């Protein structure tokens, strides 16, 4: 049974900036309950929604990683690193293939800079969100939007709830990107020592 209620937007506005500090799954779930008014949402649904939000935020806010390759000969293909989400930069000429490999144009050492996926929430992992703290409070907002989208079943009022929550999510994401200066897309070169 799902308990439906109207979220208290004063709670949301008061807490959205303060609740970022290393939230784990249970804390994210509690925040979802506060925002949505639903206390008994199935963990499986929350895993899907939180993980979907994490992927979106990893693309927007970036979790950077590096991978080093020793290229023996031109045209040598390598598998992309586990958790690879999007390429940010590479220190030598390359081609990405449709089958998920990277091919380097010349031999030598190569360093790949890429955005990686955060660890998915699941029954096996309910630890802390790996994204930067600035993004944690957005996961329950995203999940609240998805919840109301699913529950609407064509009902205009409930569908409107989903749209409003998604707008809030997107606005908050844009605000955070502006706050951190949009650094993730403006870098010309990474130097890792």
d(CA 99, CA 82): 14
| Structure tokens, 135 | 């993004």
Q: CA torsion 115→87→50→168, rounded to 10°?
A: 100
Average pLDDT rounded to a whole number, residues 57-85: 90
| Structure tokens, 84 | 């690879």
Q: How open is the CA angle 118-124-127, to the nearest 5 degrees?
A: 55
What pLDDT, in 10s, does the model give residues 145-159? 999 988 888 777 767
- Round the average pLDDT of the chain to a whole number and report it: 82
Average pLDDT rounded to a whole number, residues 77-104: 92
| Structure tokens, 173 | 């994401």
Beta carbons of 4 and 39 less than 8 angstroms apart = no
d(CA 119, CA 83): 9
One DSSP character per residue, 141-189 reads HHHHHHHHHHHHTT-HHHHHHHHHHHHHHHHHHHHHHHHTTTHHHH-S-
Q: Which helix (H) or strand (E) holds 108?
A: strand 108-116
Could you tell me the pLDDT band of residue 88, with boundaries at 50, 70 and 90? confident
**pTM for this predicted structure:** 0.76
Query: Which residue in the block uniquely carries the two structure tokens 């409003």?
Result: 164
d(CA 5, CA 37): 5
What pLDDT, in 10s, does the model give residues 19-53? 445 789 999 999 999 999 999 999 999 999 999 99
């Amino acid at each position: 049974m799902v308990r439906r209620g109207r979220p208290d937007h004063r709670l949301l506005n008061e807490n959205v900036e303060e609740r970022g500090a290393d939230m784990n799954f249970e804390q994210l779930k509690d925040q979802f309950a506060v925002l949505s008014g639903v206390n008994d949402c199935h963990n499986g649904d929350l895993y899907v929604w939180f993980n979907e939000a994490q992927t979106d935020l990893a693309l927007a806010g970036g979790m950077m990683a590096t991978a080093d390759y020793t290229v023996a000969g031109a045209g040598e293909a390598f598998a992309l690193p586990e958790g690879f989400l999007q390429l940010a930069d590479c220190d030598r000429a390359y081609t990405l293939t449709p089958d998920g490999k990277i091919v380097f144009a010349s031999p030598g050492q190569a360093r790949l800079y890429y955005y990686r996926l955060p660890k998915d929430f699941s029954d096996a992992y309910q630890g802390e969100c790996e994204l930067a703290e600035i993004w944690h409070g957005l996961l329950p907002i995203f999940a609240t939007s998805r919840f109301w989208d699913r529950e609407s079943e064509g009902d205009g009022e409930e569908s409107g709830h989903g749209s409003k929550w998604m707008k809030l999510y997107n606005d908050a994401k844009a605000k955070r990107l502006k706050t951190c200066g949009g650094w993730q897309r403006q870098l010309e070169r990474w130097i890792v020592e």
